Every structure is written in C-alpha cells, then in structure tokens.
Amino acid sequence: MDLDRTLCYRALQSRDARFDGRFYTCVSSTGIYCRPVCPARLPLLTNCRFVASAAAAQDAGFRPCLRCRPECAPGAPAWRGTGAVAGRALKLIADGALDDGGVDALAARTGLGARQLRRLVRTHAGASPVALARTRRILFAKRLIAETDLKFTDIAFASGFRSLRRFNAEIAAALGRPPRALRKEGVRAEGGVLKLPLAYRPPYDWDGVLAFLKLRAVPGVETVSDTSYARSFVLGPARGRVTVTHNPERRTLIAAIEIDRLDWLDRLVARLRAVFDLDADPRAIAEMFSGDAMIAPRLTAAPGMRVVQSFDAFEAGLRAIVGQQISVKGAATLLGRIAAQCGGELPGPAALQAADLTSCGLTGARMKTLKAWAVFALQPGALDALRFDLATAEASLLALPGFGPWTAQYIALRGLAHTDAFPAGDLVLRQNAALDARALEARAELWRPWRAYAAQALWRVPAI
C-alpha cells in the first residue's frame, strides 16, 4: 500500500485519531514503531518510515512502542484500498486463519494460488501472511501480559503459541525484553472474568447499537440494558459469555469475557470487533455521503453509525430466515424457542440439522429452509466462499430453497460484512426512503461501495 509521507507526517504531528490503525511510524533513531496518536515527542521526518501494518514494522526489525501500544489500535477499516480478495484474505488472517493451517490452506479458502496470495498480501500490507499472523500473536500476547493477570502458560496458548518456550523466545525477540518485564498490574475482574478494551475510531453510535441489539435480543441468549449488551456464545469448541460496555473517554468498548477455552480467546476478540463494526472509519463514510440529500442528514443526526453484525455468518442466516415477513420482535421470540430447543444457545449447522423444530411455531416451509441452510453450511468451505464476492454470494444463496433477494442481501450485510450489500426490497427501507423497491435500488447505485451504511442510516433514522 502506497503511503503519502507528507500526509502521514501531518497526521503524526496532529496526533489525528482518524488515521489510527491506518499506518504505523517506524522511527530509525529509536528502533520503535508507533501509532499516529502516540503522545511521545515528535520524531524528525528524516527518521520516519511509514508502513501499512504492524507486521510490516515488526518484519523490518522495529519494536512496538510501550506508550501508544500498537496492539491496542483499531484495525484497518475494511482494508481500504485493497482488492476484494486480498482484503478478505487479510481479514481471515486477522481472524486467526493461519492458526489451524498454513498459507496453502488459506489460499484454497480464498480461491488463489499460494504464491499469488503471498504477493497480494505483501503488496497491500507490507508483510507476508506468516509475518502478519506472527505479529498478530505477539501483539495479542502483549495485550494479555499488560492487561490481565493470566499465567504466562495461559497467555501463550490464548495467543496461538504451541509452547511456553516458543512464546518466551518470540516475545523476547520481537519486543526486546522477556514477558515478565512487560507485566503490569493485571486488570482482571472478580470471578475470573477477563476485561479487554476494544478500540474504535470515534465517533461511535453506542446508543444506536444498543437500540438495534435490544429490539432483536433472543430470549435466554442475549440481554440488553441501557448501558450494556451481554450474550452467551459458542465458538468452535469454546463456550462462554461476554458483556460489552462503552468507555467513550478511552474510545473503547470494554468486553468482560468468560471463556472455557483460552486458546480461542483471540478469535473471540476478532469476532467481537466484527460484531460491533469497530474497524469502520465513520468520518470517511460520512465524507463519502456528504453530498447525498437522503443519507448525509441521517449520518449527521446519528454520528458514528455502525453496521452491527451477527455473531457469525450462520447465525445471520438463521436470523434472516426466521425473520422473513414477520416483525422483528416476533422473530426474536421464535429464535428464543429454537435456542431453548437446542440447549439454550442459537444452534450451529450440525445442531440445527439435528434439531426437532416442530414445537417452535415455525411453518413447514420455514423449517425446510432452515434445514437447507444447515446442510449448505456444513459443506466444507461453503460459508468461506460467500465472503469474497457479493454477486457470487447472492447467486449461491438464491439457489437455496426459500431464499429470496432480501434474505441473501441481509445475510451478506449482517453475516458476511459485505459493505456494499443492500436489501432494496426491505419494507422499512422503502418506507423510510419513500421509494418503491425499483426506485430505491436505482438510487442506491449512487452509494456504492458503501450501500450497507446507507441501509443502516435509513433504518437508524426513519425521517429527516
């Protein structure tokens, strides 16, 4: 990714939070790399090298700053500037795709050759896939060392290291000091609950996010108050509960986490960042819509709007199918019955396929569609294949029984993080835009490639 040295240095001079996570500054005189918001003394421009990722800085031999803590920066906003396939590959690496397999396996998931994947990732992130995964592990471990009182053995496995010896060696090599030298007083909550801050780029529409989640909260699974969101979860072999609150002064959400498999903690954190759309750049989105008479006033009325995601793609499909042509509240009630039938959790594909749904109040057609969705999701790589191209995802979903354009686009928007997804047939969207489906779809062409945010704006602010 090409970075403008003059623009980067100006952002560094002003400590501009809009650029946090977009680039990192490597300072040759200190051997340290920093975020744009670092409070340290401004280095000379001649001593600065600007890179697109923390991995690129680590790969060049620089150590993370202990003051601004690069491991706490928000992620790159949808890897802006990258191609769709490269961007999705980078996202998969950030989600831990290389923890369970090598670059060849990741390449197969993206539909690329391994050599092509390496070239694309280096072009856009300035480092190899392996270097990105390694830096992710190291920086996540650094967070846990500084912010919790977990044992180092637990931190090693939570960060994806296979042994304590490898953990100690890599931390010392990458950070220039052993893990014990990085330890501060832990901030672990009472009862063994981990509290981790999740950074975002301000502003953040927390009230709007809570209102969205509260209306759709599944009884027995989710609880939403005026200040917090809580839910139980199943993630791979891990189970637990998370409660999320807001700390606007620190520009973070605070996740209080209980999890029975610490080796899945990093993937849970990545999942939470996606759920709450924490890597979005609200100012860039507002600028994109600044000249649009329908969307711009809505973004002004609710600054920092986010496109909330379901916990995973399969859950998004479950919610979309159950919610077809009924009220949001009615869908939440039915989902609560399904959860109760499946052990108190929203089921994954295998559990849904095996479940007896006849007592949940669903129509026969809807049960058939749910079963078809489960069968589809159980196919190896089926959900992965939906992530890389919106048109391909829509075509694949429309081939399933009971799936129409609204369902396909809703899953793309809420479960696959396609920023250009737009369910033009949605009744509320049409009402709030005062347009029929065809006219709304035509108008939405002006909003590419951020149509999902336009849809959220219309849902969030009904009238201007």
Query: Please, are residues 302 and 452 in contact by the beta-carbon 8 Å criterion?
Result: no
| Exposed/middle/buried for residue 399 (C-beta within 10 Å: 0-12, 13-18, 19+) | exposed
Per-residue H/E/C for the chain: CCCCHHHHHHHHHHCCHHHECCEEEEECCCCEEECCCCCCCCCCHHHEEEECCHHHHHHCCCEECCCCCHHHCCCCHHHCCCCHHHHHHHHHHHCCHHHCCCHHHHHHHHCCCHHHHHHHHHHHHCCCHHHHHHHHHHHHHHHHHHHCCCCHHHHHHHCCCCCHHHHHHHHHHHHCCCHHHHCCCCCCCHHHCEEEEEECCCCCCHHHHHHHHHHHCCCCCEEECCCCEEEEEEECCEEEEEEEEEEHHHCEEEEEEEECCHHHHHHHHHHHHHHCCCCCCHHHHHHHCCCCCCCHHHHHHCCCCCCCCCCCHHHHHHHHHHCCCCCHHHHHHHHHHHHHHCCCCCCCHHHHHHCCCCCCCCCHHHHHHHHHHHHHHHCCCHHHHCCCCHHHHHHHHHCCCCCCHHHHHHHHHHCCCCCCCCCCCCHHHHHHHCCCHHHHHHHHHHHCCCHHHHHHHHHHCCCC
- The bridge status of strand 229-235 relative to strand 238-247 is antiparallel
CA dihedral (65, 71, 76, 79) positive or negative: positive
Backbone angles phi, psi at 361, to 5 degrees: 85, 15
Residue with tokens 């601004």: 68
- The bridge status of strand 63-64 relative to strand 32-34 is parallel
Name the active-site residue from 205, 277, 281, 426: 426
Name the active-site residue from 8, 26, 34, 38: 34
72 assigned to active site: no
Distance CA 437, CA 443 (A): 10
Distance CA 139, CA 137 (A): 6
426 assigned to active site: yes
End-to-end CA distance of the chain: 39
- Give me the active site residues, please: 34, 426
